[in-house]
Structure 1
Amino acid sequence: MTTTTPPAAPSASTERGGAVRLTGIGKKYGQFTAVHPLDLTVPQGSFFALLGASGCGKTTTLRMIAGLEVPSSGTVHLGDEDVTGLPPYKRPVNTVFQSYALFPHLDIQENVAFGLRRRGVKSVRKQVDEMLDLVQLGDFARRRPHQLSGGQQQRVAVARALINRPRVLLLDEPLGALDLKLRRQMQLELKRIQTEVGITFVHVTHDQEEAMTMADTVAVMNAGRVEQLGSPADLYENPRTTFVANFLGTSNLLAGHVADVSGEDVAVTVRGTTLSLRGDRCATSPAPGGDILLGVRPEKVSLVPAEDAAGIPAGRNRVTGRIATSSFIGVSTQYVIDTPVCGEFEVYVQNIERDARLVPGAEVVAHWSAAHSFGLGADQDIDAGVRTADTGEEAA
């Protein structure tokens, strides 16, 4: 395994200046609002992701940070410096795009050295070697871009950007051109590189897994606004809107009425079935008689044949139904259950000890802990954020 030597640590002044702060930043194109005025702070040294479907405003936001788009309102600060009026080449940021834009006539060493030579730096060999070691391409210095794989070319593009020692590295869908297996490898590579150099990364992607794998903090964007901001685990476990619940993975959302609130316990009636959740997992204030959406992730739910229902521990939420379809996907089997509370209730069962009785047509009971339920406001579109299988775009 290649031993990497990280570049020299940033100076104290650079550390103070590495945070990105957007204040009231917005962008209009005529009558169309691409980004509604928003406030956003990216901490120094963090890996930050802007996540959303096509057209949500994430790339426009990134381009305003880079200086490639002029905001219609608001300011962009890097640390204490207001860079709103500065052109791109005067901002201490570099951008890596999906198209790597490597120079085909130059070898990898000269591609990485390009930025330094353009600035008039005479002695570049040591810095270039450090960067190639960082991205684990030291043995490929004399190869041309066409002799490298897509993932290796992407690492060259990252090295070329980092060698200029920017305060912030901006990544615009950098892994979109790679196949699934290589994309997953590069997710880990980018996170490793960011951890080693300690530079602030701002990453734009429409891929939920990509954002959740790499980022410390994720801003989920929708229609030019930030729907929710937080750590990947918090966004997944505690969605505050139906868009976030549906866009980040899969959720079973059940429309019901609050039957009772007793301390932290909330009882919800869904089409004659009483289910429970905890008040601290509600994005809205539940009140008896009010409407609410009760949600649960498919992997939080257990599934047993109806004849085994007596063995379900007391206090768990229960939904009876019949298996409509099942799909084996390796790590788990995904079931769609036809139930009184929901026509398509999804359950993901890990493939450890598969029960041969769980087949389409079987009568079953789905059950889960009340602590795994979450509550959302019933005034939202229950299908917001659902991505259609044929287009991959968010349902309107």
Structure 2
Amino acid sequence: MNTLEAVGDLRLTGLTKRFGSFTAVDDLDLTIPQGSFFALLGASGCGKTTTLRMVSGLEDPTAGRIYIGDTEVTSTKPYKRPVNTVFQNYALFPHLNIYDNVAFGLRRRGVKDVKKQVDDILALVELAHLAKRKPTQLSGGQQQRVAVARALINQPQVLLLDEPLGALDLKLRRQMQIELKRIQTEVGLTFVHVTHDQEEAMTMADTIAVMSAGRIEQLGSPEELYENPATTFVANFLGQSNLVAGTVTGKEDGVITVDTHGVRIALPESRSRVESGAVIVGVRPEKVELAAGNAAIESGRNALPGGVVTDASFIGVSTQYLVKMPWGQELSVFEQNTGKEIYRPGAEVTLHWDATQTFGLDGSQDIEAGAEIDDEAAK
């Protein structure tokens, strides 16, 4: 079987990995369309890197199968799979210049005339002018692009990216997010990107799978996951959410009404995961506005009166507030900087927002799931 001829979607069926009594990846079914930029997003220990290692052949599954197109590669040796991996540490050869680093894979396979392929791939990653330099003479972002070029020149069906930007500073990381997306669009290969960084996943990926405890919590486009989270974990882990417990009190004309701490909240039926009983009402902080005291709020908007500002942080593009509600919960509000009055700590306010921006989740879940995960610990 020549796996290098395998073309098509990357499919994982029933993929499971156990380390003793610990299940790292739990019966995973996943199809990653050919030519897509796909992100596996989650905190440390969620199973995302183990999944990547099984796809690359560096880890054997306990159960399940891996296909690229119609070709099963579950038991195929790593070097025979049409897959290459870019790691966080780049793993460049320090004694070779950039040209020879990139040409290494072709020469090892016995390709005699490598010049055109190396020149083309260095042009793609915009490093042709640095071909004679050694890796130590390049910046972190340039080394990253060399690692990508070295992986791409072997023409894999799937390029795996394991936390590839983790060693870069914030500004360079954002530049490389755009750069990697450009490269993926130009070459049209399947990129599978493992990261704990929500912004990174949302910036780069067409589709994101949010992982927790070896399972996929939700799969979809960045917009879909952000605007319509399916679970409290996704709502809290992907950005920030204000989540408040309540009880469904009615449903009429496509609108669900909820009682939360004695206040009536409305939300579209299409944005609620439950239609009766306990519900967790959610709204993103940037959708919420503040009004002074018990000011009248126009119809069509949800309102939570009786809040007291506990913190106001002006960060340029917006002011980020924490507001303590009468029942003791602190909610977040991000108000865009439009010259509006900034409320100071101690100010009494009403939170209000367009009712159609509200979402509803199953009330039996842990309302704090995903909220306490620390980015630094996740690295």
Q: Same fold (TM over 0.5)?
A: yes
**Is 1:112 equivalent to 2:102 in the alignment?**
yes
Aligned partner letter, 2:366: D
The DSSP-based 3-state class of the residue aligned with 2:183 is helix
1:297 match: 284
Structure 1 residue 387, shift from structure 2 partner: 2.9
**Is 1:346 equivalent to 2:332 in the alignment?**
yes
Q: Which runs of 5+ in 1 are unaligned?
A: 1-12
Q: CA RMSD in A?
A: 1.5
1:140 match: 130
**Is 1:58 equivalent to 2:58 in the alignment?**
no
The DSSP-based 3-state class of the residue aligned with 2:24 is strand
Aligned partner letter, 1:291: A
The DSSP-based 3-state class of the residue aligned with 2:229 is coil
Map residues 92-131 of structure 1 onto 2, 5 A cutoff: 92-131=82-121
Inter-partner Cα distance in structure 1 for 2:215 and 2:341? 45
Aligned partner letter, 1:335: Y
The DSSP-based 3-state class of the residue aligned with 1:275 is strand
**Is 1:75 equivalent to 2:65 in the alignment?**
yes
2:146 match: 156
Q: Which runs of 5+ in 2 are unaligned?
A: none
TM-score by length of structure 1 reads 0.92
1:283 match: 273
Deviations along 1:357-388, one digit per CA (max 9) or x if unpaired, are: x1111111111011111000111110000135
2:368 match: 383
Deviations along 1:159-216, one digit per CA (max 9) or x if unpaired, are: 0000000000000000000000000000000000000000000000000000000000
Structure 1 residue 259, shift from structure 2 partner: 1.2
Inter-partner Cα distance in structure 2 for 1:159 and 1:341? 55
**Is 1:306 equivalent to 2:293 in the alignment?**
yes
Given that 1:254 and 1:341 are in contact with CA atoms closer than 8 Å, whether structure 2 keeps it comes out as no
Given that 1:256 and 1:270 are in contact with CA atoms closer than 8 Å, whether structure 2 keeps it comes out as yes
Structure 1 residue 18, shift from structure 2 partner: 3.3
The DSSP-based 3-state class of the residue aligned with 2:209 is strand
The 1:132–1:327 alpha-carbon spacing in structure 2 relative to 1, beyond 3 Å, is same
Inter-partner Cα distance in structure 2 for 1:314 and 1:220? 36
Structure 1 residue 392, shift from structure 2 partner: 4.3
Inter-partner Cα distance in structure 1 for 2:109 and 2:377? 43
Given that 1:131 and 1:159 are in contact with CA atoms closer than 8 Å, whether structure 2 keeps it comes out as yes
Aligned partner letter, 2:166: G
**Is 1:363 equivalent to 2:353 in the alignment?**
no
Structure 1 residue 340, shift from structure 2 partner: 2.4
Structure 1 residue 341, shift from structure 2 partner: 5.2
Inter-partner Cα distance in structure 1 for 2:168 and 2:333? 30
The 1:388–1:61 alpha-carbon spacing in structure 2 relative to 1, beyond 3 Å, is closer
Map residues 1-396 of structure 1 onto 2, 5 A cutoff: 17-284=7-274, 286-287=275-276, 290-306=277-293, 309-310=295-296, 312-320=297-305, 321-340=307-326, 343-356=329-342, 358-387=343-372, 392=377
Count of residues in correspondence between the two structures? 375
Given that 2:85 and 2:162 are in contact with CA atoms closer than 8 Å, whether structure 1 keeps it comes out as yes
The 1:390–1:144 alpha-carbon spacing in structure 2 relative to 1, beyond 3 Å, is closer
The 1:191–1:67 alpha-carbon spacing in structure 2 relative to 1, beyond 3 Å, is same
TM-score by length of structure 2 reads 0.96
The DSSP-based 3-state class of the residue aligned with 1:204 is strand
Inter-partner Cα distance in structure 2 for 1:393 and 1:110? 35
The DSSP-based 3-state class of the residue aligned with 1:69 is coil
Structure 1 residue 86, shift from structure 2 partner: 0.3
Given that 2:86 and 2:159 are in contact with CA atoms closer than 8 Å, whether structure 1 keeps it comes out as yes
1:3 match: none
Aligned partner letter, 1:383: E
Inter-partner Cα distance in structure 1 for 2:188 and 2:138? 27
Identity of aligned residues (%): 64
Structure 1 residue runs of 4 or more that deviate by more than 4 Å after TM superposition: 388-394
Structure 1 residue 391, shift from structure 2 partner: 5.8
